[in-house]
């Protein structure tokens, strides 16, 4: 049966003398990688924590991070990838919530790890997986590999829990999504027809590896025995440079990253001819950004993946050939992968007629086991094997799914439902707008009013702002109905607050407007 270790063995067998990983000039073959994982797993197994116990990872992207992802289940434990954007208090929460007893960390998180060690009673082992000096309060990653003999992997597999992934969702407190070996594999497998990656290809880990989007990229690349290249963290110039120098063929980027790359001075001058496929997802793609990217790189194949951590994470894909068709289909999230079964349900739990909007509800082998230690939330989100995504969608006759919005992000104004994505797309198509988020703010008469929060492009100065608010609202009237147009716009200089997954944290944006009032929940 399927397990993360067995998939590593398979990938290594496909290409045993090929390069598995490259990080800051350091290359490891698939055969080496397998050997290192079997030794690291052996060292971890000697802690004798017991089957399914949790080991957390806190680090930037690296080859060691990748190895650890497999060494932990190799030893029979579950991996808990911590969010690198979280503060100490949040990661401390995740460690306690998951009952994690081992923490692996790198140079970037050495001081946070030391604090976490003191704050978290149940932490028994800390492992330093960086390349410098191991602090005296931690064990050395390389020494564990050097001093242990390879062992056979744990037999945990299939529906056994492989990891707990804390959600970077836009609402509520973080929940630990329990994912099985089977689910992680099945989700990646569903994207294989779109991934089209073989041994001769190279995948760049540019998005954070703790997030399930890049985790799926890891798995897809592993399924082909292809090469992994890691950069510590996203930086637009570094991504462009790495693509050119390492002949990257595949990568995964969130829309905000694509936007930053497009805005970078080297975007038009770097040789990206090696690049074959860019996956994007994790947050809605503004139409204008996609158009700009497709115009700048006409030969590149774009694939959209829509999903969420609870589905490990892929639900639908919009294929490269769909992108080439262009037109309205570009607004869709694509079609169910071969492992995914989707229904759209109304508020009474009935299937909506074709063409009508309902909550996206998903079944498949990639569905989560549930939320860790949260039986009530699990019972709400997982019913008879169906995961309730909280997203609202519409199907067209060809099975393309259009995500209209996060159900909970919808603005209800004067009894009309306004889907914020539609308003955001209208605003961002204006030259002056660099980034945007649309929220509902309190309104005495209508309950909520549509409000736009706009970051201007560098060409526009604040002095113009007075006239610009009116101009932007008029601009929206050209493409969307009047009741959907923003009633007010505020301008912002700082970037929009993002979750670890790159999703705009609308709860934070709403907070100042709703202080002291209770927002009506639809």
In the complex with its own copies, which residue's Cβ is closer, 106 or 196? 196
Cβ-in-10-Å burial (0-12, 13-18, 19+) of 107 comes to: middle
Q: Which residues contact 473 (CB under 8 A, 6 or more apart)?
A: 485, 486, 489
Does residue 403 touch its own copies according to CB under 8 A? no
What dihedral do alpha carbons 147, 105, 109, 214 form, nearest 10°?
130
**Across 45-95, where does the E strand assignment appear?**
54-58, 78-81
Cα distance between residue 389 and residue 211, in whole Å: 17
Does residue 193 touch its own copies according to CB under 8 A? yes
Does residue 315 touch its own copies according to CB under 8 A? no
Choices 45-53, 139-147, 247-255, 336-344 (CB under 8 A): range interacting with its own copies:
336-344
- Strand bridging mode 433-443 / 447-456: antiparallel
Does residue 2 touch its own copies according to CB under 8 A? yes
In the complex with its own copies, which residue's Cβ is closer, 288 or 329? 329
What is the chain's alpha carbon radius of gyration, rounded to the nearest angstrom? 23
On whether the CB atoms of residues 27 and 17 are closer than 8 A, the answer is no
Minimum CB separation of residue 396 from its own copies in Å reads 12
Cα distance between residue 395 and residue 333, in whole Å: 10
Question: How many other C-beta atoms are found inside a 10 Å radius of the C-beta of residue 348?
Answer: 5
Does residue 343 touch its own copies according to CB under 8 A? yes
Ramachandran angles phi, psi of 69, nearest 5°: -55, -30
DSSP 8-state secondary structure symbol assigned to residue 471: H
Does residue 332 touch its own copies according to CB under 8 A? no
On whether the CB atoms of residues 166 and 82 are closer than 8 A, the answer is yes
Does residue 353 touch its own copies according to CB under 8 A? no
On whether the CB atoms of residues 298 and 269 are closer than 8 A, the answer is no
In the complex with its own copies, which residue's Cβ is closer, 80 or 336? 336
Which residues within the stretch 110-169 sit at the binding site for its own copies (CB under 8 A)?
Answer: 158-159
Cα distance between residue 41 and residue 312, in whole Å: 23
Minimum CB separation of residue 283 from its own copies in Å reads 27
When binding is defined by CB under 8 A, the residue of 101, 363, 484, 503 that contacts its own copies is: 363
On whether the CB atoms of residues 428 and 478 are closer than 8 A, the answer is no
In the complex with its own copies, which residue's Cβ is closer, 393 or 486? 393
Minimum CB separation of residue 147 from its own copies in Å reads 27
Does residue 349 touch its own copies according to CB under 8 A? no
Side-chain half-sphere CA neighbours of 130 within 13 A:
19
When binding is defined by CB under 8 A, the residue of 29, 115, 192, 262 that contacts its own copies is: 192
Does residue 378 touch its own copies according to CB under 8 A? no
When binding is defined by CB under 8 A, the residue of 9, 63, 409, 448 that contacts its own copies is: 9
Largest CA distance in the chain: 71
In the complex with its own copies, which residue's Cβ is closer, 9 or 214? 9
Choices 9-17, 64-72, 77-85, 250-258 (CB under 8 A): range interacting with its own copies:
9-17
Does residue 418 touch its own copies according to CB under 8 A? no
Choices 11-19, 255-263, 440-448, 495-503 (CB under 8 A): range interacting with its own copies:
11-19
Does residue 260 touch its own copies according to CB under 8 A? no
Does residue 13 touch its own copies according to CB under 8 A? yes
Does residue 308 touch its own copies according to CB under 8 A? no
Does residue 172 touch its own copies according to CB under 8 A? no
DSSP 8-state secondary structure symbol assigned to residue 176: E
In the complex with its own copies, which residue's Cβ is closer, 265 or 321? 321
In the complex with its own copies, which residue's Cβ is closer, 77 or 195? 195
Q: How many residues bind its own copies (CB under 8 A)?
A: 31
In the complex with its own copies, which residue's Cβ is closer, 199 or 457? 199
Does residue 14 touch its own copies according to CB under 8 A? yes
Angle at 33 between CA 30 and CA 34, to 5 degrees: 85
Pick from 285, 289, 287: nearest CA to 305: 285
Chain residues that interact with its own copies, rule: CB under 8 A: 1-2, 6, 9-10, 13-15, 158-159, 182, 189, 192-193, 196, 199, 223-225, 336, 338-339, 341-343, 363-365, 385, 398-399
């Amino acid at each position: 049966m399927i397990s993360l270790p067995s998939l590593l063995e398979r990938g290594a067998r496909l290409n045993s003398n090929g390069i598995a990983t490259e990080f800051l000039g350091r290359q490891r073959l698939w055969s080496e990688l397998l050997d290192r994982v079997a030794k690291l797993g052996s060292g971890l197994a000697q802690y004798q924590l017991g089957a399914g116990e949790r080991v957390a990872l806190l680090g930037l992207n690296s080859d060691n991070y990748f190895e650890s992802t497999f060494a932990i289940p190799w030893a029979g434990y579950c991996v808990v990838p911590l969010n690198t954007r979280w503060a100490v208090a949040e990661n401390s929460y995740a460690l306690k919530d998951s009952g994690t007893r081992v923490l692996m960390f790198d140079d970037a998180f050495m001081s946070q790890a030391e604090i976490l060690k003191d704050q978290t009673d149940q932490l028994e082992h800390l492992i330093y997986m960086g390349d410098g000096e191991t602090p005296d309060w931690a064990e050395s990653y390389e020494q564990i590999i050097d001093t242990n003999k390879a062992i056979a992997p744990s037999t945990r597999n299939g529906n056994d829990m492989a990891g707990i992934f804390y959600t970077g969702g836009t609402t509520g407190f973080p929940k630990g999504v329990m994912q099985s070996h089977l689910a992680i594999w099945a989700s990646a497998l569903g994207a294989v027809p779109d991934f089209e990656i073989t041994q001769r290809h190279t995948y760049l880990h540019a998005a954070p590896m703790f997030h399930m989007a890049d985790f799926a990229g890891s798995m897809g690349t592993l399924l082909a025995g292809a090469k992994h290249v890691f950069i510590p963290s996203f930086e637009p110039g570094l991504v462009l440079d790495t693509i050119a120098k390492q002949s990257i063929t595949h990568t995964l980027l969130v829309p905000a990253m694509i936007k930053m790359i497009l805005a970078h001075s080297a975007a038009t001058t770097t040789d990206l001819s090696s690049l074959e496929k860019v996956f994007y997802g994790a947050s809605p793609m503004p139409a204008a950004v996609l158009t700009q990217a497709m115009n700048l790189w006409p030969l590149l194949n774009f694939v959209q993946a829509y999903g969420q951590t609870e589905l490990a994470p892929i639900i639908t894909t919009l294929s490269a050939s769909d992108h080439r068709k262009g037109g309205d289909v570009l607004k869709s999230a694509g079609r169910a992968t071969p492992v995914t079964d989707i229904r759209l349900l109304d508020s009474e739990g009935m299937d909506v007629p074709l063409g009508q909007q309902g909550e996206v509800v998903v079944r498949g082998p990639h569905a989560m086991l549930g939320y860790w230690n949260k039986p009530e939330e699990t019972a709400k989100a997982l019913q008879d094997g169906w995961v309730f995504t909280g997203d609202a969608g519409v199907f067209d006759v060809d099975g393309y799914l259009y995500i209209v919005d996060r159900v909970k992000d919808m603005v209800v104004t004067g009894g009309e439902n306004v889907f914020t994505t539609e308003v955001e797309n209208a605003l961002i198509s204006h030259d002056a707008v660099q980034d945007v988020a649309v929220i509902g703010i309190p309104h005495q008469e209508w309950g909520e009013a549509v409000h736009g929060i706009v970051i201007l492009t560098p060409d526009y100065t604040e002095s113009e702002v007075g006239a610009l608010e009116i101009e932007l609202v008029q601009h929206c009237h050209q493409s969307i109905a009047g009741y959907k147009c923003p009633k007010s716009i505020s301008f912002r200089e700082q970037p929009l607050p993002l979750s670890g997954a790159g999703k705009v944290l609308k709860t934070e944006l709403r907070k100042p407007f709703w202080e002291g009032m209770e927002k009506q929940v639809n």
